[in-house]
């Protein structure tokens, strides 16, 4: 019923679901949600999740989960996060994965609806620390299709892993295409390691 309703909603607005979620080996995974250029991405994502029978979790600041709406936020899949540093969040989410038999954690790595020259890398380090694959999902406003790219198991090569993701998102368009920046992490830039060494 959930799947049928989700696909009906997508068809009603002129969209179609492409392929299937790679369930084998991806019972626990980090799900990339991109491109993210509009507030409309959320309702589309809800219909998308229904169409593929996905129960998605997402991270939110712990204050969102206080009464009276905390229970509702958890029902929507929200996971409260207390730690403020990136390293703390990575550890916290890795522990969450370790404690659950199934978890699809959706993250919008752009971190903003507006153009950014780098993705936030938390999604990558969470997957690597937790030992789970990354599943790239997309909402392509150019073709009005929703689907997935091949799963990625993080390797020892950050550049090769990001090349995999760049291939998935090549040609994909958000509602506002000019807001979809490069699929690139700050850690890939040669100046990143230099600045880190200088500050150490």
Identify the residue with better confidence: 171 or 51: 171
Q: Tens digits of per-residue pLDDT, 108-125? A: 899 888 999 999 999 999
3 state SS of 22: coil
183 in a structural domain: no
Q: Does 197 have pLDDT greater than 50?
A: no
Domain that holds residue 147: 2-173
Q: What is the DSSP letter of 152?
A: B
Which of the given ranges, 46-60, 141-155, 179-193, has the highest pLDDT on average? 141-155
101 in a structural domain: yes
3 state SS of 17: strand
192 in a structural domain: no
179 in a structural domain: no
Burial zone of 157 (CB within 10 Å; 0-12 exposed, 13-18 middle, 19+ buried): exposed
CB 80 within 8 A of CB 61: yes
Alpha carbon distance 177, 142 (integer Å):
9
Q: Check residue 183 and give its pLDDT.
A: 96
- What angle is formed at CA 162 by the lines to CA 158 and CA 166, rounded to 5 degrees? 170
- pLDDT category of residue 79 using cuts at 50, 70 and 90: confident
Identify the residue with better confidence: 24 or 167: 167
Mean pLDDT of the chain: 86
193 in a structural domain: no
Number of folded domains that form the chain: 1
105 in a structural domain: yes
- 185: which strand partners? 119
Q: Tens digits of per-residue pLDDT, 14-50? A: 888 888 899 888 999 999 999 989 887 877 777 888 8
- 152: which strand partners? 134
Position of tokens 């990354």?
134
Which of the given ranges, 1-5, 16-20, 170-174, has the highest pLDDT on average? 170-174
Alpha carbon distance 180, 96 (integer Å):
30
Q: Check residue 195 and give its pLDDT.
A: 44
Q: Tens digits of per-residue pLDDT, 118-157? A: 999 999 999 999 999 999 999 999 999 989 999 999 999 9
- 113: which strand partners? none
Instruction: State both tokens at 176.
Output: 């506002």
Position of tokens 């679901």?
17
41 in a structural domain: yes
- Mean pLDDT, residues 2-13 taken together: 78
CB 52 within 8 A of CB 26: no
100 in a structural domain: yes
Of all residues in the chain, the percent with pLDDT exceeding 90 is 50
Residues in the chain: 200
- pLDDT category of residue 198 using cuts at 50, 70 and 90: very low
């Amino acid at each position: 019923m959930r799947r049928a309703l989700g696909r009906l909603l997508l068809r009603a607005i002129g969209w179609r679901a492409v392929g299937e979620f790679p369930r084998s080996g991806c019972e626990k995974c980090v799900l990339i949600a991109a491109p993210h250029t509009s507030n409309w991405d959320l309702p589309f994502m809800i219909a998308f999740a229904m169409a593929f029978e996905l129960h998605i979790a997402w991270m939110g600041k712990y204050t969102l989960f206080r009464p009276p709406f905390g229970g509702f936020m958890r029902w929507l899949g929200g996971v409260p996060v207390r730690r403020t540093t990136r390293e703390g969040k990575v550890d916290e989410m890795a522990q969450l994965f370790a404690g659950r038999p199934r978890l699809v954690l959706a993250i919008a790595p752009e971190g903003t609806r507006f153009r950014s020259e780098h993705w936030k890398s938390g999604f990558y380090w969470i997957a690597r620390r937790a030992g789970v694959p990354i599943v790239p999902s997309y909402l392509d406003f150019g073709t009005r299709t929703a689907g997935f790219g091949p799963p990625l198991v993080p390797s020892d090569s950050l550049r090769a892993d990001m090349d995999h993701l760049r291939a998935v998102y090549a040609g994909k368009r958000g509602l506002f295409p000019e807001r979809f920046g490069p699929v690139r992490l700050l850690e890939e830039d040669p100046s990143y390691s230099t600045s880190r060494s200088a500050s150490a």
